[in-house]
């Protein structure tokens, strides 16, 4: 592992922290690398002495959780006893509000939004697949005259003459393709919507 | 040395070094890791926590070699906290020594 790899691994374990806090941590560790390098140490030696990035990250993250919890408790006390100070503590209030919002959002996501999202996704996928069935029916319809010639009696009650059947068959195939393309388009739009929701949700969880 | 011992006294070590002089991170880390065998990376989270709790202030100072360095300066509450901790430490080691050596 080199310096870049070390920083990437550190970053991947600091996801819960805000960008400004991550920037502070990276500045500290980068300064360490810079000075140690200027004193003639190799990247391997520096990384060896620093220890595993996961261990370092783990010591930053619980700190953050404790601070967040303390702020919720503080927040509760402020609201009951010192409402007149709300303006002064706007920063804290905003953060407390965000934590509350994150908890509510997480609850609704798991109980309501995620199952609904999943159902809609399944419905769209079924509709896309059903397009395949329509195309298949179209083929049978178009070829029904030929099938009737090869195996008489397999398809009963043909409503039209052979030419009309071929015409309707082709129309059905076209409709099947349009149907599939239409639902694929809906699926794409839906996917963008789902991604937007998750980005929003993750940002809320990061308390930004 | 036992890892739990090290972690417990690390805070006191950092505060003690900083109560004598202002240091930049690397200087502090080197000084401590020279004496205590510990992963250097664990000192930075500790420094950040103590800073967030108001025991240090930090400032950037130009360096003759390379980019500016972040210096740590102990605050009044930091000095008080360090004194409390070292008192606790002295009492604790005295107690342990008494038990280990069998003095009543």
Tokens of B102: 């069998």
Give the start-to-end residue ranges of the domains of chain A. Answer: 1-88, 91-208
Tokens of A181: 């393309």
In the prediction, which pLDDT does B67 show? 79
Please count the CA atoms within 13 angstroms of the CA of B73 that sit on its side-chain side: 8
Domain region containing B38: 3-101
| Candidates B25, B27, B44, partner chain A, best to mutate (most A CBs within 10 A) | B44
In the prediction, which pLDDT does A107 show? 83
Q: Write out pLDDT tens, residues A79-131.
A: 444 443 444 444 556 667 777 877 887 888 888 888 898 899 999 999 999 99
What's the domain count of chain B?
1
> Which residue intervals of A82-161 are DSSP H helices?
90-108, 114-150
Has residue A30 got a pLDDT over 90?
A: yes
For chain B, the average pLDDT equals 89
pTM above threshold 0.80 = no
| Residue at token pair 């592992």 | A1
Rg (CA), chain B: 16
In the prediction, which pLDDT does B36 show? 86
Burial class of residue A97 (count of CB atoms within 10 Å of its CB; 0-12, 13-18, 19+): exposed
Contacts of B77 (CB under 8 A, 6+ apart): B54, B55
Q: Tell me the chain A residues in contact with residue B67 when contact means C-beta distances shorter than 8 Å.
A: 31, 34
Has residue A12 got a pLDDT over 60?
A: yes
In the prediction, which pLDDT does A86 show? 41
- Given CB atoms, is B94 within the 8 Å cutoff of chain A? no
In the prediction, which pLDDT does A64 show? 60
- Main-chain dihedrals φ then ψ at residue A129, nearest 5 degrees: -65, -35
Q: Write out pLDDT tens, residues A36-86.
A: 998 899 999 999 999 999 989 988 886 666 566 655 555 555 544 444 344
Tokens of B66: 């390379």
In the prediction, which pLDDT does A66 show? 57
In the prediction, which pLDDT does A104 show? 82
- How far from B20 is each of B27, B46, B73, CA to CA, in Å? 13, 18, 10
Cα separation, A50 vs A41, in Å, equals: 12
Q: What is the CATH number of the domain that holds B43?
A: 1.10.10.10
Using CB atoms, pick whichever of A24, A32, A60 lies closest to residue B29. A32
Cα separation, B69 vs B24, in Å, equals: 6
A-B interface: how many C-beta pairs under 8 angstroms? 62
Tokens of A35: 């000075």
């Amino acid at each position: 592992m080199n310096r870049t790899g070390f920083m990437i691994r550190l970053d991947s374990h600091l996801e819960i922290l805000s960008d400004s806090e991550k920037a502070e941590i990276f500045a500290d560790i980068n300064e360490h690398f810079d000075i140690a390098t200027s004193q003639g140490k190799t990247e391997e030696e520096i990384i060896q002495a620093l220890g595993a990035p996961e261990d370092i990250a783990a010591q930053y993250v619980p700190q953050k959780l404790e601070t967040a919890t303390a702020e919720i408790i503080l927040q509760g006390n402020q609201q009951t006893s010192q409402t007149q100070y709300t303006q002064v503590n706007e920063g804290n209030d905003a953060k407390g509000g965000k934590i509350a919002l994150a908890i509510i959002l997480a609850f609704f996501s798991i109980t309501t939004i995620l199952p609904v999202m999943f159902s809609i996704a399944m419905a769209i996928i079924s509709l896309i697949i059903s397009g395949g069935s329509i195309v298949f029916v179209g083929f049978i319809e178009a070829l029904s005259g030929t099938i009737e010639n090869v195996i008489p009696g397999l398809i009963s009650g043909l409503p039209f003459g052979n030419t009309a059947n071929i015409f309707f068959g082709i129309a059905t195939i076209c409709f099947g393709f349009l149907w599939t393309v239409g639902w694929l388009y809906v699926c794409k739009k839906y996917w963008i919507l789902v991604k937007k929701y998750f980005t929003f949700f993750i940002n809320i969880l990061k308390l930004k | 040395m036992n890892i739990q011992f090290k972690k417990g006294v690390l805070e006191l070590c950092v505060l003690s070094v900083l109560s004598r002089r202002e240091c930049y991170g690397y200087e502090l880390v080197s000084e401590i890791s020279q004496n205590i065998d510990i992963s250097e990376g664990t000192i930075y989270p500790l420094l950040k926590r103590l800073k967030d709790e108001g025991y240090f202030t930090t400032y950037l100072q130009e360096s003759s070699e390379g980019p500016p360095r972040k210096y740590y300066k102990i605050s009044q509450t930091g000095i008080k906290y360090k004194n409390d901790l070292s008192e606790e430490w002295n009492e604790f080691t005295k107690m342990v020594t008494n038990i280990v050596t069998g003095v009543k």
